[in-house]
Chain A
Amino acid sequence: MVKEIERAGIPVVHMCTVVPISVTVGANRIVPTVAIPHPLGNPKLSLEDEKKLRRKLVEKALEALETEVSGQQVFE
């Protein structure tokens, strides 16, 4: 899906846990996430801290979208 969105002309950031799959599939902007069943959260944290974590990850995703890339790049 990520490639078809990119192909359509829309910049896209892939937020995922299994980065090698994303790389193999061909996403260009990649932000690694927390875990497969909760990529943008961590149930061990309080809901408040969890939202802070999620905010950080989304900020990273926006940063990736604001960054010119020439090929595949993982935004750690």
Chain B
Amino acid sequence: MAAKSRIVWYLNQFFGQIGSEDKADIPPQKHEGGIGPAAGAKNLLKDKAEVVGTVICGDTYFGENVESAAKEVVELIASFNPDIVIAGPAFNAGRYGVACGAVAKAVSEELNIPVISGMYPENPGVDMYKNYAYMVETVNSAAGMRKALPQMINLTLKVLSGEPMGTPKEEGYMPRGLRKNVFVSERGSKRAVDMLIKKLKGEEFETEFPMPDFDRVDPNPAIKDMSNAKIAIVTSGGIVPKGNPDKIEASSASKYGKYDISGFDKLSEADHETAHGGYDPTYADAEPDRVIPVDVLRDMEKEGVIGELHRYFYTTVGNGTAVASSKAFAAEFSKELLADGVDAVILTST
């Protein structure tokens, strides 16, 4: 019989049976064998695997020292020489979820072994770290332990078996945001039309690419007097001064740029270009006004159609850039636009 696989379990102070909030500042520590949920896992693991050790850390300690705590925890985990790590489940405990996620990240990066966890979908740990663990979706309180535990153990055994991992839906984990190429019997056009027909018939269908949830903002009142309005340009099309001085990334941008166009009647390939890596840059590089209409707005300013073209434009690369990043960029520069008395914005996208 093959040797049992070795599991190390990461727990917070509460599930590690050390104490509650008053013990939340304890630094990482390790124990031989399983504690807490590991007892319930024993029967489920049968003779295939065993929990050889437990690492416990207080949630506050972890939350206040995420990077160093993750490092300490990984060292303790490594001392047990495990094949796989289970973290949580954290339910909707934010600090615990982030801790489980950060442990998952550090374990997968430094020890290169898989991690299984479980959380409530809105736990910030899910969005922050879903790439690093197979996470079971749990309810938002520890009352869900009885349901979460068997799911987490099933996933653990699946990963240990070495069989190919199925889709999130088949295997019962939350989508990790990873794309996997697969061969299917029907081409995309046929699948899309089949889906459309089902939709038109009012039948149930399953999208191959679910859109994330987006919220809504009510429109602001219209501009009453355009001839006195100050208009600013914003773009996700990546137009930057030649040479991309702030090194805005071609995809998954981590920043935006703010550049002075007060000296330009039009942009040209001599002075501007695009940093965007998600479309053919030929046309934008040759005539950057094809992405941000500086020439036309300058004319309109001279003719008095608009009051003024704001001297700065704001730009980033909208190519695989996280919604959260874009939100943060715009929330920040919108304050400057307001402070500069900008009345309206023209935002162009490629």
B226 touches A7 (CB 8 A): no
B residues near A67, Cβ cutoff 8 Å: 222
B208 CB–A CB distance under 8 Å? no
B343 touches A10 (CB 8 A): yes
B337 touches A68 (CB 8 A): no
Q: How far is the CB of A49 from chain B (nearest CB, A)?
A: 13
Mark out the residues of chain B between 305 and 350 whose CB falls within 8 Å of any chain A CB in the assembled complex: 305-306, 316, 318, 326-327, 329-331, 334-335, 337-338, 342-350
B205 CB–A CB distance under 8 Å? no
Q: How far is the CB of A59 from chain B (nearest CB, A)?
A: 8
Chain B proximity mask over A1-34: 1 for CB below 8 Å, otherwise 0: 1111111111111111110011011111100010
Q: How many residues of B contact A (CB 8 A)?
A: 57
A29 to B217, CA, bound (A): 12
Of the residues B220, B282, B286, B292, contact of A11 by C-beta under 8 Å: B220
B293 touches A1 (CB 8 A): no
B269 CB–A CB distance under 8 Å? no
Q: How far is the CB of B239 from chain A (nearest CB, A)?
A: 11
B214 CB–A CB distance under 8 Å? yes
Contact A37 to B284, CB < 8 A, known contacts A9-B220, A24-B211: yes
B220 touches A3 (CB 8 A): no
Q: Which of B236, B286, B330, B335 has the most CB of A within 10 A?
A: B330
B330 touches A11 (CB 8 A): no
Chain B proximity mask over A35-64: 1 for CB below 8 Å, otherwise 0: 011111101000100110011011001100
What are 6 sample pairs from A and B whose C-beta atoms fall under 8 A apart?
A: A3-B215, A10-B342, A26-B215, A51-B296, A58-B296, A62-B300
7 more CB-based (< 8 A) A-B contacts, given A10-B338, A27-B347, A65-B229:
A3-B215, A5-B347, A10-B220, A17-B350, A26-B216, A39-B349, A66-B222
